[in-house]
Chains A and B, each alone.
Chain A
Amino acid sequence: MARAAVLGRLVLTPIRWQLCDVAELIDETPQVKTIILDAPDWPGHRAGQHVDVRLTAEDGYQAQRSYSIASAPEDELLAITVEKLDDGEVSPYLAEELRVGDKLELRGPIGGYFVWDAQQGGPLLLVGGGSGVVPLVSMLRHRAAVAPSVPARLLYSARSLDDVIYRAELDGFDVVYTLTREQPAGWTGFARRVDDAMLREVADPNAEGLAYVCGPTRFVEAVADGLVGVGYAPENVRTERFGPTGG
């Protein structure tokens, strides 16, 4: 069944937990896995939204975490991408124990603030730190499906090239990398944390359009401040922070 894109305002129905089938697992990096889900009652989503995933132990103990949706609204199946945090309560199970054919309990889509619909237009500047790139890639996929003429650039901060998620797919987009910890031999790209000089170089020269920033709290706050510093209107800079409780 094709998932209908939900555009514009959402009519909210009561949020309910539902069981999905794990259809496919993709190793993105040694620490990151994409989980493709067949969600029979999925109402469709908007790029940038997330789901809550809930695990229940045999003794009834429950742990719940939020994960960004990676797939575009136009995609047939729902995909989430999970970074394994070694001391996490949920992500190690999702990354290591989950198998194709298993059931996973989730609810969603959730959120309306950190969302981009194609009709909002651009230009789009997406800035992601680590697995903060996931909702931004949903936006890029959405744009590629329905609005490829909207200019969009992704600034992606990763520790190393091996930590880059969706690397092959991103070759097809306008992506600027900065590798903060380890660079391959002959690397000529950025090799430092995102700073104001980098933003000036990468962002729209007139600071026009919309900016979306997702990553760890300190990354998001530094980048958001930097974007306002280079002239972006604060109301055009949307942010999503994730932290250690996300594991």
Chain B
Amino acid sequence: MEEQDLKLDGNSAAGLFRELFSFELTTARGRCDNCGAVAEVGAVLVFANAPGSVLRCPQCESVLMRIAKNGERYWLDVRGITWLEIQA
């Protein structure tokens, strides 16, 4: 299996986001802290084959967010996102 086959997108993380947030996150817009590109979360790249999910910028492929879950505990690393604009 090639790495390309393991690349998904933000749609695949929608269920995980629903566990954590009360708003629909895949239609939120976020800014990549590395390159400044703005994208809807549904359109970012997701690699779910790591221990956890890694979200990457569709423009520069920098890490936007990492989410790991173990039992009832979640870890969120959001250092790659400058801001998120969420439709309430």
Contact = CB atoms under 8 A, between A and B. Distances in A.
Interface of A: 9-10, 12, 14-15, 50, 52, 66, 107-108, 110-114, 216-218, 238-245
B8 A243 contact: yes
Most buried by B among A9, A10, A107, A243: A243
* 10 tightest A-B CB contacts, nearest first: A113-B42, A112-B24, A113-B26, A15-B18, A111-B14, A112-B27, A52-B15, A110-B14, A110-B15, A240-B11
B33 interface: no
B26 A112 contact: yes
Interface in B24-77: 24, 26-27, 40-43, 48-49
8 contacts: A52-B15, A112-B14, A112-B24, A113-B42, A216-B5, A240-B11, A241-B8, A245-B6
B37 to A, nearest CB: 11
Contacts of B5: 216-218, 243-244
A114 B1 contact: no
A238 B27 CA distance: 11
Contact of A245 (B9, B19, B43, B48): B48
B80 interface: no
Nearest to B27: A112
A243 B6 contact: yes
Nearest to B40: A113
A110 B18 contact: yes
A242 B7 CA distance: 8
B28 to A, nearest CB: 9
A217 B23 contact: no
B30 to A, nearest CB: 12
Nearest to A135: B11
Contact of B8 (A12, A107, A245): A245
B85 to A, nearest CB: 14
A110 B21 CA distance: 13
A55 to B, nearest CB: 15
Contacts of A14: 22
A15 B22 CA distance: 9
Contacts of A242: 8, 12
Nearest to B10: A113
Given A15-B18, A52-B15, A240-B11, A112 B4 contact: no
Contacts of B24: 10, 12, 112
B9 A239 contact: yes
B21 to A, nearest CB: 8
A240 B4 CA distance: 15
